[in-house]
Amino acid sequence: MSVFDQLVDQQQVIKVLKDAVLAASDSDNFGQQMTHAWLFTGPAGSGRSNAAIAFAAALVCPKGGCNKCAECLSAISGSHADVELIKTEGLSIKIDEVRDLISRASWAPSVANYRVVVIEDADRLTEAAANALLKVIEEPGARTVWLLCAPTLSDVLATIRSRCRHLGLRTPSTKAVAKLLMERDLISEELATFAAQASQGHIGVAKYLATDNQVRQDRLTTLKIPLMITDISSAYKAAQLLVDTAKARAEADAEVRDGAEIEKLKQAWGSTGSKLAAGGSKAVKELEKEQKTRSTRLVRDYLDRALLDLATLYRDVMLVQAGVSESLINSDLKTEITKMADQIAESKTLLKIQVILKARTNLAHNAAPLLTIEALMCELRR
């Protein structure tokens, strides 16, 4: 057993990390295999944050990542005293958060040989926050290791990535993801293969598809949207449907978490009936603000996933138009895809994929979701 066993189809990355863990125990080899700053990149679902967390666990584990001891388990869960796990559920990581993080990272390790900081969404650092982080990476502490995660190298400030050792993860194969679902989550082979294929190797999405029927129904609704667009009016209705579906999923997630978080915070502030200790009301308002920001990001994340599904639909249309139908991602909609392939000119199919990807970029730049999707649906109508 090893903490690296959770990484799917990433053999080369695992070898590099295991070599680094061995070197970390030998100060003479520290500068060769091991360094104080790492940058993990890879497409969504490749497991870049899982790789960083596994590496952090191995660095604080006396046995190099056994995945059994208290150090490993607490590091993976985010409760280890010497492992800082920074996850942002908002749209960005601001400078105040980074300053607090830098202050804590300067402390000496309390129980392990290293103090490890994992920033899961380094691409969401504001410019000021990235510059503040750069200063500490340029002059790292002797026992502090920084692990940054981002989709691509270009998503991180050039001066930061030049001071990090880069590890690129690849999209796991469909076969590897299906095998993981069958072995870890006891999913049937048919459903696991479908989920792995439909998710395009995204491990998290594959699990949701395989274990939640509502997620599968939402995906099917999204993929059938192009079939309902016949004029401007139907294009606007399709856009509203897509945004409403994303909002409904975000609200469902929020309903489960928000109330419990607020109740827990009130208890921490000594809630007695309707009264809170001094400062408690302010803390609750700040949490509510964070929850609203998280909900906004969730809506954008769900819309982004829906747009990716739409892109795969038109990708399948292109394959059918080219006379290749054996490797469709959405094979469950082969009849609809074949019909679309007959109705759409081949020259326009690629243009439709391009406008979908443009809409994804606009959403990532905080464009208004409904206006963005409305413009997209009008483009898809042509």
Candidate from 138-147, 163-172, 276-285, 327-336 with smallest mean pLDDT: 276-285
Amino acid 165: pLDDT: 93
173: DSSP letter: P
Question: 278 pLDDT exceeds 90?
Answer: no
Res. 274 pLDDT band, cuts 50 70 90? low
CA-CA distance, 265 to 256, in Å (whole number)? 15
Across the range 220-235, mean pLDDT stands at 91
Q: Taking the model in full, what pTM does it have?
A: 0.79
Helix (H, G, I), strand (E, B) or coil at 269: coil
pLDDT, tens digit, 9 for 90 and up, residues 178-218: 999 999 889 999 999 999 999 888 888 899 899 999 889 98
**Predicted confidence band at 27 (pLDDT cuts at 50, 70, 90)?**
low
More reliable by pLDDT, 325 or 337: 337
Return the number of other C-beta atoms located less than 10 Å from residue 240's C-beta: 14
Q: What percent of the chain has pLDDT over 90?
A: 47
At 375 the pLDDT is: 95
Distance CA(40)–CA(176), nearest Å, equals 20
Residue 360 phi/psi, 5° resolution? -60, -45
Note the pLDDT tens digit of each residue in 95-121. 888 888 888 887 888 888 889 999 998
**pLDDT tens-digit readout, 125-157:** 888 899 889 988 888 777 889 999 999 998 898
Percent above pLDDT 70 for the chain: 94
Q: Which pLDDT band, with edges at 50, 70 and 90, does 374 fall under? A: very high
Query: Number of C-alpha atoms within 13 angstroms, CB side, residue 106?
Result: 10
Give me the pLDDT at residue 139, please: 80
- Whether the pLDDT of residue 381 is over 80: the answer is yes
Contact yes or no for 169/46 (Cβ under 8 A): yes
Q: What is the pLDDT of residue 191?
A: 93
The whole-number pLDDT of residue 273 equals 54
pLDDT surpassing 80 at residue 267: no
Q: Does the structure show a pLDDT above 80 at 30?
A: no
Top pLDDT among 31 and 105 is at 105
According to the model, what pLDDT value does residue 271 have?
59
Mean pLDDT of the chain: 87
In the structure, how many helices (H) and strands (E) does the chain have?
17, 5
Q: How confident is the model at residue 169 (pLDDT cuts 50, 70, 90)?
A: very high
* Candidate ranges 51-60, 222-231, 267-276; pick with highest mean pLDDT: 51-60
pLDDT at 26: 67
> According to the model, what pLDDT value does residue 106 have?
79
Extended strands (E) in the chain: 37-41, 83-86, 115-119, 144-150, 165-168
Using CA atoms, how far apart are residues 27 and 230, in angstroms rounded to an integer?
67
pLDDT digits (tens, 9 = 90+) for 279-328: 677 777 877 787 788 788 889 989 999 999 999 999 999 999 999 888 88
pLDDT for 87: 82
Q: For residue 321, what are its two tokens?
A: 């138009």
For residue 148, what pLDDT is reported? 95
Burial of 126 (0-12, 13-18, 19+ CB in 10 A): middle
- For 79, half-sphere exposure in the C-beta direction (CA atoms, 13 angstrom radius) is 4
Distance CA 224, CA 305 (A): 15
Query: Which residue matches tokens 């520290």?
Result: 30
Structure tokens at 161: 């990535």
Residue among 53, 86, 48 nearest 67 (CA): 53
- Which tens digits make up the pLDDT trace of 244-260? 999 988 888 777 777 77
Name the token pair of 111.
């129980």
Indicate if the pLDDT at residue 353 is higher than 60: yes
